[in-house]
Structure 1
Amino acid sequence: MKQQESRLVAELAARHWLRGDQIQAMAPAEHLDVDRYRVAGLDENGHPRPESGLERAADAVGWMIVEDGPVGYVAVRGGHPQCAAVGLYRAARFDHAWLVITSHRLAVLRLRDAQNTEEGKVDEIIEQARRERSLGGALRGIGKIVKTSATEFVRSARRPPLTERPQDAVFECAFEVPRQALHSIVRWKQPMVPEFEGGPRFVQVRFTDDSWARLKTDQAGLAALTGS
């Protein structure tokens, strides 16, 4: 299924996005199952911190401390919320996302299901909860997200995959930076977690602004992105 979807992404990229560029590597990209942010100005969930003097001072040192532990792995590290790693990680938060490297760019390309009317609602709920900045607002937001996600899960389970109905595949470039903003892509392994044949693999994407993000991919994706 991933190979078929990859071909669809490449076909739509050639039609709508490449503009003479050549795809050099592409791989499915997903969030870590349990993740944390270590970014100055953001809390562990990637939400903006309140602008207090004490928290700004803590950020100045705290963002540099990278910790992986039982409550989740650090997925994003950076010096400010606008760093490349934050943009990359947020772009890969939905299904059907691909990390793509061309001769001039690095991007996250997505296929959005035109029949999925709930996806935009999740973004609206998250933004509303951030604006409220209250426990009650956050809890209401979580409840709405769970309800929305459950509704869409039931609906999507009844639909054929996008590769069988390409007319519903809406192509999007969710993140893009010049190729020179990429420092390197290296393999990353979850500590104490064994790897199995056919199981997930992980990469750490490093940028020249000293930020990095970790993404889940598969074996073919790891090989394509790291050359190993």
Structure 2
Amino acid sequence: MTPNEGAMVAELAGRHWLRGDQIQTMAAAAHLDVDRYKVAGLDENGHPRPESMGERAADAVGWMIVEDGPAGYVAVRGGHPRCAAVGLYQAARFDHAWVVITSHRVAVLRLRDLQNTEEGAVEEILEQARQERSLGGALRGLGKIVKTSATEFVKSARRPPLTERPQDAVLDCPFDVPRQVLHSIVRWKQPMVPEFNGGPRFVQVQFTDDSWARLKTDQAGLTALTGAQQ
């Protein structure tokens, strides 16, 4: 993320999203590199669990137990799949995502590159695989995703940065909730992992429904969201 990208997000937000509101805080955001969900009704990858009585009983207690370990850090905790933390974390799954706080709203805004055709193609492939419900269909879908991603990677490497192509930039808002849903934002550090100058920083965004999500940002984002300098 660059200051130029942040300025582009703010400019597009003023034209298409703010509707008279004012940005108070904004920060680049991304998923943890290795993450797990601890959410009732979802598995560790954030996918819906089978609706069996046993699963529901396990969820009733299991979602409250938060464990960070070799399998990955818990990135999202919540009592149900529709909690605010799940919405926030899933909205930050794409590149060029920013957490934006105004006097009335908390949102994730992201820049979408109109020349990047991968996202729509991958969603279509995944939907086809879900409909087939077979191992063969899943494997074919995985092969298509790998091929599509590789093709898009080659194309994107040849393009100038999106900040140099403002005509190709579109602002999406995959997460938008009232400000009062936000409880607090605190700094979070990965256990046993040192921090380096210029390296990533992390925050834990806590909501009034007792859910929280951890996001990766940079030093500027950490300062903007929490006021922490180190």
Q: Which band: TM-score by shorter chain?
A: over 0.9
> In 2, Cα distance between the equivalents of 1:130 and 1:70?
30
> In 1, Cα distance between the equivalents of 2:33 and 2:122?
18
Q: Could you tell me which residue of structure 2 aligns to residue 79 of structure 1?
A: 79
Q: Could you tell me which residue of structure 2 aligns to residue 104 of structure 1?
A: 104
> In 1, Cα distance between the equivalents of 2:110 and 2:73?
24
Q: Which amino acid aligns with 1:164?
A: E
TM-score (norm 1): 0.95
- Give RMSD over aligned pairs: 1.5
How far the C-alpha of 1:215 sits from its partner, in A, is 0.5
Are 1:47 and 1:130, in contact at CA under 8 Å, matched by a contact in 2? no
Q: Could you tell me which residue of structure 1 aligns to residue 145 of structure 2?
A: 145
Deviations 1:125-171 (A, max 9, x none): 33444555555444444333322222211111110011101000011
Q: Which amino acid aligns with 1:198?
A: G
- May I ask how many residue pairs the two structures share in their alignment? 228
Q: Could you tell me which residue of structure 2 aligns to residue 58 of structure 1?
A: 58
Q: Could you tell me which residue of structure 1 aligns to residue 216 of structure 2?
A: 216
Unmatched 5+ stretches in structure 2: none
Q: Which amino acid aligns with 2:164?
A: E
> In 2, Cα distance between the equivalents of 1:195 and 1:224?
18
1:175–1:42 distance in 2 versus 1, CA, 3 Å: same
Q: Could you tell me which residue of structure 1 aligns to residue 197 of structure 2?
A: 197
> In 2, Cα distance between the equivalents of 1:5 and 1:91?
18
SS at match of 1:184: strand
Q: Could you tell me which residue of structure 2 aligns to residue 226 of structure 1?
A: 226
Q: Could you tell me which residue of structure 2 aligns to residue 117 of structure 1?
A: 117
> In 2, Cα distance between the equivalents of 1:204 and 1:122?
29
1:18–1:31 distance in 2 versus 1, CA, 3 Å: same
SS at match of 1:41: coil
TM-score (norm 2): 0.94
> How much identity, in percent, do the aligned residues show?
85
SS at match of 1:68: coil
Unmatched 5+ stretches in structure 1: none
Q: Could you tell me which residue of structure 2 aligns to residue 3 of structure 1?
A: 3
Q: Which amino acid aligns with 1:204?
A: Q
1:139–1:193 distance in 2 versus 1, CA, 3 Å: farther
How far the C-alpha of 1:202 sits from its partner, in A, is 0.5
> In 2, Cα distance between the equivalents of 1:95 and 1:119?
11
Q: Which amino acid aligns with 1:84?
A: A
Deviations 1:72-109 (A, max 9, x none): 11111111111111111111111110000001000000
